[in-house]
Structures are given as structure tokens and as C-alpha cells.
Amino acid sequence: MQFLSFLISGLSLGSVYALIALGYTMVYGIAKMLNFAHGDVIMVGAYLIYVVSTMQHLPLWVGILASVAGCTVLGMLIERLAYKPLRGAQSLAVLITAIGVSYFLQNAALLIFGSSPKSFTSVINRKPISLFGGELVISWEAILTLVVSVLIMIALTVFINKSKQGKAMRAVSEDRDAAQLMGINVNRTITLTFAIGSALAAVAGILLCSSYPTLTPYTGAMPGIKAFTAAVFGGIGSVPGAMLGGVLIGIIQMLANGYISTQLSDAIVFAVLIIVLLVKPTGLLGKKINEKV
Amino acid sequence: MSQKAIKLLGGNRPKDKNNIITISLVVALFAIVELLKGTGHISNLLSGLLVPICMYITLAVSLNLVVGILGELSLGHAGFMCVGAYSSALFSLVTKDMIPMTWLRLILAFLIGGLVAAIFGLLIGVPVLRLKGDYLAIVTLAFGEIIKNLVTILHLGVDSHGIHFSTESVAALHLQEDGKILIKGALGITGVPKSSTFEIGFIIVMLTLLVSLNLVNSAKGRVIMAIRDNRIAAESVGINITTYKLFVFSLSAFFAGLAGVLYSHNLATLTANTNNFGYNMSIAILLLVVLGGVGSIRGSVIAAIILTALPELLRGLSDYRMLIYSILLIVIMLFNASPKLVALRERYSPKNLFKRIFRKKQPEKEANADV
């Protein structure tokens, strides 16, 4: 019973990681950059819904809409202002710029909201379900997180595999120059990727803060790193890999948390990552890269 | 300067003038600061920054060996610093009463901190260096986090029955009455003698610089850069890649360990958190390396000095300082690395501007020559 409850909280946390990891992996696949600011977009998304729905007392759906729309615009803006001028530059330069953006978002949030944690109101207000005479308690947040994440992942998979824009995204990630020669607007495709990734981050932020309701300017940092780990775990650049990696990392973390030690759970997650990468150096579902001389 | 001294400063080829410039720059800065300190012209704020600046220079130069010379992205550099800091702090704490000479204790502390970090570098390097690119980066990040995580739960005590350790609490150590607690988990180590000074920091910086500059210009250094530029080609001429990679990785870890010793002997309480030994720190060091110029040791030194002092110099802006710092960072990166802006900057650089003005006198001639 205990195992089941750990498993369910792990699945729910893991699906949030998967949503964030999708943003990392899509951006990596298409723009070949590690977007270290992605974690902080989660935090911005959570603050947006906090401002709109908790502080201004507007209906919840307005808050969710504002959060998703705000993050989408933010993602596109970051791409346009900070990353686009660096297209064709060294990848390390882009990485450092992303870190700069991450510092900027954190410090802007620190200035506006202060460092004291805000208590986030969950998006659903219902008592948790009690099964087997109270032995297994499942929170509605966990169920909502699972359902929403699964729906989003299905929608995203369909979008990438069936739609024209999805095809363009796959083409750009395969070979940017060839895609451009085929008449695909590469810049617009990259912007679209950032928009989708940031919208997913907003959803992830709302879900994450519903389950773990403390909100600080640094809320996004650790989930961001974990999701990045998840993306690499599954094979960075691979969309199903990010989903699998996210869910696995979440489950491992929760099981380690429950059975071994709360303080060691992060270390265990990273240790599993290291072992997996040593056995499969490009992640679980990553493509093998052939070396050329 | 004698031939031997020139060689020590980085060899005797003409291009090694560069190294002498780097070394003289650091020595000159040291002399100026010492002069200011002697005459009392230095503010409390700045004098508090002197040891951290030395520490950051050491960290940046040592990470540059891995990122710039070896060409592998490491995101776990703070982990080695953590190992160095903790092992040396433990040593100094235990031997505080045994070895009365501060200088001897400090030298031993530096040796222990550096060597333990180097051993960790070797142990971590064996699995990590099999990977490539971003996968290598994430695994170094993972190792750094694991080190930080393990250190925060470690409790260590010593009594007449020997050494006790536990991962849970101080009570779980079951110490005798004469026992002494050394590491208190998340509360860290207290009572490490504060023996880091600016002069010691300077010696460590010079040591790091001399070894790094000499390495870059040596036969070994050229082999390492050959691996960076084309691994397969280097392998095919019979270079043992793993040995060289491990060598650089553990050398870099050694210096990071030295920086950790500087750090731990500059504090009253040594604890591990995300900002001093976690990925935030590793990223902050990487930032110095990239801003200074990947592969440029002098650049790392300058970036470390400026970026450590900058948040303090911006202190007048109080709450806005970190925000402005981050904006400055983005702008500097765009200005330095954006292909369009670099082209623009080159066009209007003083050197080219001078050329253009000079050429203006005879533009027709050139145009005619083309026709």
C-alpha cells in the first residue's frame, strides 16, 4: 500500500518533470542549445497565476490563461532578444546567455515579490480520496497532474507527428540547413518551439505549485535541473525520451524519498542518471551519434 | 632576466611574451593592493573581497584547463572545491592543537585539500570522460550535486574509541564523554582557524598560473589541445587520450581543491549549500571562464577580478544590483559573441577605424586598380 502511494506521488511529480523536460528537449533538438532559463519560466508561470487568481481574486480560468499566455510571450521574447542574436555563435556563449536570462528572471521576481515564500492556493480545492480504509490517500492534485500531463503529452505527440508545423519542427531538428532549403521558415519554427516549451512550463508551474504550495523566486531552479536531468536521461532531443525520463526520475525520487532517505533522494536520482549514462551514453532513447573524421 | 627564470615564466619562445604579461599583470596588481593596504587606502569592503578574488581566479583558471584546453564542458567544478574545503578544514580542525606552527599546518592543509580533490577528480574522471558533450556536462553536474548532498548529511565525531560517523544525527554518533564532534551534518564544520590571507591567496594564484601557463606551452599541452581540436586524429597518431584527459581533469580538480582550502580557511563556519558548492557555484565559475574567453588564461584572471568585484561595486544600487548584474551579463555576451555584433564591432574598432581613415586619402587609386 505504501509502495502504491509512493508510486502515485512519483508518477505525478514525474509527469511534471516530463512537461518541463519536453521544453528542454524540444529546444535542444531544434536550436541545439541548453536553455538554462527554462526552469525559471516555471516560476514566472506560478507567480502569474498567483497574482491574477490569489491576489486579484479573479476566476481561476483567467489566472490559468494569463499564466500560460504570459509564459508563451515571455518564452518568445527571451528567444527573440537573447538567443536569436547569438544564432551561429559558440554554444558555450549561448549557454552563458541562458544563465544570464535565468539570473535576470530570478532577480526580477525577487525585486517584485520579495524573498519571503508565498503560499500558493491549489487549483482544486477538494479533500483527498481515501481508499482501503484510509490506507491509501490520493490527493486530487496528483490525479489532476497526471490527467493533464497525459493529455498534453498525447496532444503534443499528435502535433509533432501529424501537423505541418510539427513536421517542420522535426525537419529543423534533423538538419537545419536542409530544412531551410526546402522552404521551411527556420526562425519561425524556433520561435514556435520556444512558445510551446514555455506554455508547457507554465502548466508545469501551476501543477507543481498546487502539489508543493510554496512559491519563491527560486522555486523553478531545482525542478528545472531535475527536468534537465530527465531530458538527458531519456536522450536529449528525443520527445518520447523526455516523457519517459521525466516519469522515471519522478518515481525514483519519490521511492528514494520514501524508502531510503529524504536528504539523499537528490543524490540517488543523480547516481541513477550516472549509471544509466555509463551504460547507454546517449540516454535511454537517444540516437547513437556516428563519429565522422 | 636569466634564461632559467624566463623558462619558468612560460618558456623562451617569442609568443610566450604573452605569459610574462599575464604573470606581471598579477604581480603588479598584488603590489598595488599591498601598497594600498600598507597605506590604509583600502576599504573594509574591498579587503574582505581580496581572498574571494584569489579563490575565484584559481577556480576560473583551473576550470579553463578543462573547458578551454581540454575542450570538455564541466558543470561540477564546485564539487572538487567542496572536497578540498571539507578535507582541509577537517585536517586543520583536528591538528589545531597538535601542530602549533600555523604555516606548516596551512601548507599541509593545502596539500591535503588539493590531493584529496585530485583523487576525486581521478575517480570521477574515469567514468565521466567516456562520455561526450552535453552528456559529459550533465554527469559532472550530477557528481557535483552528489558530493554536495553527501557532505550535508555527514556527521563525524571522534572519541577515545576512535572515529564515529553517521548519516542521521549527532546523537546517532554515540560519542563517549571525551568525544568531539567534527562535522555536524547540514550545520557543517565550526572552528576552522581563519588563516587564509591575501598573501597566501596570491601564492596559490601564482602557483596555479605558473603550472597552467607552462602546461599550455609544453609538449603535453600541445597534445591536449590536439585532442581538443580533433580527437580522432589525435587518437590515430597514437596518443593515449584517456591518460591525458584524466591528467587534465585531476590537475584541474587539484587547483579547485586549493581554492576550496582558501575558502574554508576564510570562514567561521563551513557549510555546504547550492550557492557555495552546488551547481550555482559551478555555473558561476563557468561564467568567469566564458566571459574571460574560453582557453584564455589571462582572460579568466581578469574576468574573475572584475566579476567578483562588480556586485560589490554595484552595491550603491542596493536592491537592483543583481538585476543589473544579470542584464550586464546578457549584454556582454551578446556584444562578445553575436556574429552580427562582432562584425560591427570589428568594423568600428579603433584599429580598423584608423586604417579606414588612413586609406581615405587614396580611395580612387584602389578603385581604379580594381577596374
- Contact between chains at A93 and B319 (C-beta distance less than 8 A): no
Name the pLDDT band for B370 (thresholds 50, 70, 90).
very low
A213: helix, coil or strand?
Answer: coil
A232–chain B nearest CA distance, Å: 7
Flag whether pLDDT at B57 surpasses 90.
yes
Q: Interior CA angle at B21 toward B15 and B24, to 5°?
A: 145
Residue linked to cell 581554492: B259
Q: Nearest by CB to A293, which of B132, B232, B325?
A: B232
Percent residues over pLDDT 70 in chain A? 97
| A contacts of B325 (beta carbons < 8 Å) | 103, 107
Q: Interior CA angle at A147 toward A142 and A153, to 5°?
A: 120
pLDDT, residue A71, reads 94
Inter-chain CB pairs, A–B, below 8 Å: 130
Flag whether pLDDT at A232 surpasses 90.
no
B116–chain A nearest CA distance, Å: 20
Q: Nearest by CB to A103, which of B137, B149, B329?
A: B329
Flag whether pLDDT at A66 surpasses 70.
yes
- Contact between chains at B130 and A229 (C-beta distance less than 8 A): no
Task: Look at A11-20, B149-158, B204-213 and tell me which has the smallest mean pLDDT.
Answer: B149-158
pLDDT, residue B177, reads 67
- Contact between chains at B131 and A96 (C-beta distance less than 8 A): no
| A contacts of B327 (beta carbons < 8 Å) | 100, 104
Say what the ipTM of the complex is: 0.82
Mutation target among B67, B149, B274 for the A interface, most CBs of A within 10 A = B149
Mutation target among B75, B280, B326 for the A interface, most CBs of A within 10 A = B326
Q: What is the pLDDT of residues A191-231, one digit of tens each?
A: 999 999 999 999 998 888 888 888 888 888 888 888 988 98
- Contact between chains at A104 and B323 (C-beta distance less than 8 A): yes
Which residues lie across from A138 on neighbouring strands? A129
Name the pairing type of β-strands B155-159 and B162-166. antiparallel
| Segment B53-74 mean pLDDT | 91
Name the pLDDT band for B11 (thresholds 50, 70, 90).
low
CA distance A45 to A48: 5
- Contact between chains at B167 and A261 (C-beta distance less than 8 A): yes
The residues, ordered by sequence, that sit 6+ positions from B56 with a Cβ below 8 Å of its Cβ are B259, B285, B288, B304, B307, B308
Q: Nearest by CB to A274, which of B139, B322, B329?
A: B139
Name the pairing type of β-strands B269-270 and B189-190. antiparallel
* DSSP letter string, B90-127: HHHHHTTTT---HHHHHHHHHHHHHHHHHHHHHHHHHH
Show me where the domains of chain A are located.
12-220
Mutation target among B141, B146, B227 for the A interface, most CBs of A within 10 A = B146
Which residues lie across from A129 on neighbouring strands? A138
Burial class of residue A102 (count of CB atoms within 10 Å of its CB; 0-12, 13-18, 19+): buried
B236–chain A nearest CA distance, Å: 11
pLDDT, residue B9, reads 55
Report how far Cα B12 is from the mean position of its chain's Cα atoms.
26
